[in-house]
């Protein structure tokens, strides 16, 4: 493990330079690479790196740290301005001078999965898109067909062979892109946030595929914002302002908790939990469970009444003493299809109460994004109706009211940005409403202060970080003063700091009485909502408070829908299954920590004694 002193030198620079002879054991080698974007932004700054054959390298870093640029250099899409690059035995760039013929040869053995699948899909039929790469390699038709069938099965898209990929959900598009990359059978596969739009099952499947590929000798470079995914890697590097700031095994890198947080990241869930509970630091959930069970074994094993997490008797986010209100949005027996074969929603009904937050979860292709588009009147139902404060939005008056009262934040809201300054971008909507100039200015100021971008008012939105661009686009929607805010995967692609910032903003909006609806693949985000709606195969299969939806009795239904439970609840149930005292149903980390601490206090085992026990156990 090496920590770059003040981030002034890349960790691997001393030992990872490109020699005169190609190395078959290191298909990726970068030496003192510098890449400068227009405007003088040094996206990569003196980076040296060597990746061995069959190695799984995970690249972490905050938005704007240089991760995606590094991925593009490794897969041969970008050539550096300075330094040397060797890819799959080809010296493609020497001292900043690219060899275009060498790049052409190398790219035949390189694969890339982009962060946004829309940037990678090139045809109007799924099987044709997956076949595109092998066809360009000139492979025999039978071999191409075999590869296409194999990879579509591997990503669970057998039923979508003839579908139009542009009409698929974001997660399904991502799986098409992954299948296309795997069909090339690359020696080096670069994956830039491959799981950002995937559900729990999809991310797990991709990690399993990556493990099998690495064992077969494929070199993997995995860019991710999911810290727990980094635990699967052989080696982790952390980027900061274009440089390698940290490097080592996952355990070594995450042992530098303060440095990780200073870089805008977070440590894995198990390490955060062990730290809060005063246990021996560990990145393994199983080790956390083992330590806690050992702690209990040092105390009395007399029978104890089943405990419930503090606050569990009241629904999360519920307002005590609040009376029932008429729904602000009602969906009544709605069905919708994309063409004759693709049924996106089937007899869906739900109601959104004013000032509440609702999380819509489900595996990719379950109909989540379609539901949001119907709520925003971007689509009209084939059957049933959508009501806004009792008005049918299929009427002209209803649509006009909906567009004035419902704000929609798309899956990639930063693509909405277009103006010269943040102020002009955020003020575009209010200006089009022909509001007075002072009212437009007031709305812009309020929205920017709410999302924490007041100091960026005169900046170009395109010079902001990824997380700031997301918040800028959100501010543009908020400036329209919506009563209902609909968000499609708002945290996808954001680093931990950006996710935390967005969650704080949404919490403030909720406190102001705005009704929130968000599609999410994060069970932790769903656990923070007042209500959770579960979609599976175009139908609502569960609905209720987080504690109701994630209850023991619902585990089978969630599993069949490709979903899991929040990590805190998973740990609590594992503890209970291994003989630990019942902890209730803690759906958040705070509830889990409080329940465990309450149990320890009741058992007469304080934190200091617990820590001493675990220190002794670890010696």
pLDDT reading at 314 higher than 70? no
pLDDT at site 462: 87
Handedness of CA 361, 366, 368, 371 (dihedral sign): negative
CATH superfamily of 329-544: P-loop containing nucleotide triphosphate hydrolases (3.40.50.300)
Query: Using CA atoms, how far apart are residues 228 and 243, in angstroms rounded to an integer?
Result: 22
User: What's the pLDDT tens digit per position in 181-194?
Assistant: 999 999 999 999 88
Query: Using CA atoms, how far apart are residues 89 and 117, in angstroms rounded to an integer?
Result: 29
On whether the pTM is more than 0.85, the answer is: no
Question: Percent of the chain having pLDDT more than 90?
Answer: 63
309 versus 497: the higher-pLDDT residue is 497
pLDDT at site 211: 87
pLDDT reading at 305 higher than 60? no
Provide the residue ranges of all domains of the chain, joining segments of one domain with +.
2-109+186-267, 121-185, 272-313+567-618, 329-544
pLDDT reading at 230 higher than 80? yes
pLDDT at site 400: 85
> In sequence order, what are the beta bridge partners of 488?
519
Q: What share of the chain is helix, strand, coil (3-state, %, to 5)?
A: 40, 20, 40
Question: Percent of the chain having pLDDT more than 70?
Answer: 89
pLDDT reading at 244 higher than 90? yes
CATH superfamily of 2-109+186-267: P-loop containing nucleotide triphosphate hydrolases (3.40.50.300)
pLDDT band at residue 312, thresholds of 50, 70 and 90? very low
Same fold flag, 2-109+186-267 and 329-544: yes
pLDDT band at residue 560, thresholds of 50, 70 and 90? confident
pLDDT at site 4: 41
pLDDT reading at 319 higher than 50? no
602 versus 607: the higher-pLDDT residue is 602
**Strand residue runs (E) in 410-536:** 484-488, 515-519, 531-536
Distance of CA 411 to the CA centre of its chain: 11
Query: Using CA atoms, how far apart are residues 177 and 352, in angstroms rounded to an integer?
Result: 35
pLDDT reading at 13 higher than 80? no
pLDDT band at residue 106, thresholds of 50, 70 and 90? very high
pLDDT at site 565: 93
Mean pLDDT of 58-83: 94
> In sequence order, what are the beta bridge partners of 85?
30, 93
pLDDT at site 98: 96
Give the side-chain half-sphere CA count within 13 A for 581.
Answer: 24
pLDDT reading at 313 higher than 80? no
pLDDT reading at 90 higher than 70? yes
pLDDT band at residue 32, thresholds of 50, 70 and 90? very high
pLDDT reading at 601 higher than 50? yes
3-state secondary structure at position 399: helix
pLDDT reading at 115 higher than 80? no
> In sequence order, what are the beta bridge partners of 485?
407, 516
pLDDT band at residue 21, thresholds of 50, 70 and 90? low
Mean per-residue pLDDT over the chain, rounded: 86
Which residues are CB-contacts of 80 (< 8 A; sequence separation ≥ 6)? 30, 33, 34, 35, 44, 73, 93, 96
């Amino acid at each position: 493990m090496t920590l770059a002193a003040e981030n002034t030198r890349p960790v691997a620079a001393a030992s990872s330079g490109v020699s005169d002879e190609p190395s078959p054991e290191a298909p990726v080698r970068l030496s003192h690479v510098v890449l400068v974007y227009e405007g003088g932004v040094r996206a990569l700054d003196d980076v040296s790196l060597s990746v061995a054959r069959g190695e799984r390298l995970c690249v972490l870093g905050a938005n704007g740290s240089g991760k995606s640029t590094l991925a593009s250099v490794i897969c041969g899409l970008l050539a550096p301005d300075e330094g040397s690059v060797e890819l799959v035995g080809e010296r493609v760039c020497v001292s900043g001078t690219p060899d275009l013929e060498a790049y052409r040869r190398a790219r035949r053995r390189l694969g890339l999965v982009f962060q946004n699948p829309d940037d990678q899909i090139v045809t109007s039929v799924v099987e044709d898109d997956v076949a595109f790469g092998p066809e360009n390699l000139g492979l025999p038709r039978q071999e191409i067909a075999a590869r296409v069938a194999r990879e579509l099965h591997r990503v669970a898209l057998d039923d979508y062979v003839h579908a139009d990929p542009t009409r698929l959900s974001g997660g399904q598009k991502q799986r098409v892109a992954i299948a296309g990359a795997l069909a090339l059978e690359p020696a080096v596969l670069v994956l830039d946030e491959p799981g950002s739009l995937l559900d729990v099952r999809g991310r797990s499947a991709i990690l399993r595929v990556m493990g099998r590929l690495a064992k077969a000798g494929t070199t993997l470079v995995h860019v991710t914002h999911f810290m727990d995914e980094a635990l699967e890697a052989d080696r982790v590097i952390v980027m900061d302002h274009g440089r390698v700031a940290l490097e080592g095994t996952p355990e070594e890198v995450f042992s530098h908790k303060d440095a990780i947080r200073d870089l805008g990241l977070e440590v894995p869930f198990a390490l955060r939990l062990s730290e809060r509970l005063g246990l021996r630091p560990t990145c393994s959930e199983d080790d956390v469970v083992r330590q806690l069970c050992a702690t209990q074994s040092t105390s009395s094993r007399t029978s104890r009444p089943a405990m419930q997490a503090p606050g569990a008797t009241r629904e999360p986010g519920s307002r005590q003493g609040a009376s029932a209100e008429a729904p602000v949005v009602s969906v009544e027996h709605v069905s919708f299809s994309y063409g004759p074969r693709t049924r996106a929603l089937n007899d869906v009904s739900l109601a959104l109460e004013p000032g509440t937050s609702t999380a819509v979860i489900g595996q990719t292709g379950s109909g989540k994004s379609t539901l949001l588009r119907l709520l925003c009147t971007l689509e009209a139902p084939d059957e049933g109706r959508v009501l806004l404060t009792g008005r049918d939005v299929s009427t002209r008056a209803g649509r006009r009211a909906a567009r004035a009262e419902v704000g929609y934040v798309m899956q990639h809201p930063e693509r909405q940005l277009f103006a010269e300054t943040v102020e002009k971008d955020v003020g575009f909507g209010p200006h089009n409403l022909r509001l007075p100039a002072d009212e437009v200015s007031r709305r812009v100021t309020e929205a920017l202060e709410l999302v924490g971008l007041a100091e960026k008012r005169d900046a170009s939105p395109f010079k902001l970080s990824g997380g700031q661009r997301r918040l800028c686009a959100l501010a543009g929607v908020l400036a329209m003063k919506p009563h209902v805010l609909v968000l499609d995967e708002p945290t996808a692609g954001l680093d931990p700091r950006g996710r935390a910032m967005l969650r704080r903003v949404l919490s403030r909006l909720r406190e102001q009485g705005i009704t929130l609806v968000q599609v999410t693949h994060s069970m932790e985000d769903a656990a923070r909502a007042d209500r959770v709606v579960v979609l599976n195969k175009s139908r609502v299969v569960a609905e209720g408070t987080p504690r109701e939806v994630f209850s023991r009795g619902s585990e089978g239904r969630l599993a069949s829908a490709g979903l899991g439970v929040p990590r805190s609840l998973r740990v609590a149930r594992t503890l209970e299954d291994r003989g630990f005292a019942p902890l209730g149903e803690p759906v958040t980390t705070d509830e889990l920590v409080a329940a465990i601490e309450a149990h320890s206090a009741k058992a007469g085992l304080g934190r200091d004694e617990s820590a001493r026990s675990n220190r002794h156990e670890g010696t």
